[in-house]
Amino acid sequence: MSTTISSIGVLGAGQMGLGIAQVAARAGFPTVLVKATPGDVGALRQKVEGAWAREVEKGRMTAEEQAAALGRLTITTDFGALAKSDLIIESIVEDIARKHEAFARLDAICGPQAIFTSNTSTLGITSMAVGTKRPARFLGLHFFNPAPAMKLVEVASTVVTEPGLADAVAEVVTKLGKTPVRVKDTTGFVVNRLLVPYMLDAMRVLADSGAGIADIDTAMCNGAAHPMGPFTLADFIGLDVVFHMANNLHDEYREPRFAPPPVLTRLVLANQLGRKTKLGFYDYAQKPPRPNAGI
């Protein structure tokens, strides 16, 4: 079956989905972005226009390139608009039941040649693939946040992936200006399997060492040359996302180091989720942000 990929569809218009669609359209692919929940899509297009206008102002994009990229990008709530996409990247909520439902809908409208991929960070690719009519044409395609800036994409094959498919998708990733890394379908792939326990260990060090939140972040930035400390990073990702990734890893491997520490559980229960709620390990109502006084 053909592995020609000349058009891209993205399902899910949250921060990740919107960013992936921007990358695809800017790289020259006709791109359809489908908002998976009801609501107006005008604000989404305004976000893209604003982001690219800033790129033009900085000299990173010409006005002609901006106009051409906008012309390649369709934003809609109509699932049917994905019917002719060669490669579909799912980027909806990290809930396996919701993903199964979404792929069932896509199966009903897409031709057999369409390649399905999921941007999941920790859910099993095989479990999604075998629930479709095309398990051999299903991959993991994990972008990192923010998608327009981050270079890495993990390309995850399963035991039933069609030979050569991952190579074809990795080639597209390169055309998007990203760096593909080939991985197997294992929970957390490479980055999150290493990164999540790092952040969880920092939370345990906070409880045990006497060092404060800002002290630990400073230590890892200045002592290990990390661009941001573990608490700043966790707040940036979203503490609810970190919590769910930790639980998924713990469910898979049953290793104590993957279990969410109590402080993370309490913050998630209190809806203190980091930057997006203005309060997490840091209080973002303060300028500059200061450690959360309630921890």
Report the C-alpha gap between 9 and 127 in whole angstroms. Answer: 21
- Residue 32 belongs to what H/E stretch? strand 31-34
What are the distances in angstroms from CA 65 to CA 21, 27, 158? 15, 10, 37
Active-site position among 85, 119, 154, 244: 154
Report the C-alpha gap between 138 and 115 in whole angstroms. Answer: 6
**Phi, psi at residue 66, to the nearest 5°?**
-60, -45
Report the C-alpha gap between 294 and 133 in whole angstroms. Answer: 50
Q: Quick check: 85 and 8 in contact, CB under 8 A?
A: yes
Q: Quick check: 76 and 7 in contact, CB under 8 A?
A: no
Report the C-alpha gap between 99 and 120 in whole angstroms. Answer: 10
Active-site position among 157, 192, 248, 292: 192
What are the distances in angstroms from CA 279 to CA 14, 182, 208, 243, 282? 20, 36, 23, 16, 6
Q: Quick check: 185 and 156 in contact, CB under 8 A?
A: yes
**154 is an active site residue:** yes
Pairing status of strand 282-283 against strand 138-143: unpaired
What is the DSSP-derived secondary structure letter of residue 123? S
Active-site position among 91, 121, 157, 292: 121
Q: Quick check: 68 and 56 in contact, CB under 8 A?
A: no
**121 is an active site residue:** yes
Active-site position among 55, 142, 250, 292: 142
Which residues does the annotation mark as catalytic?
Answer: 121, 142, 154, 192
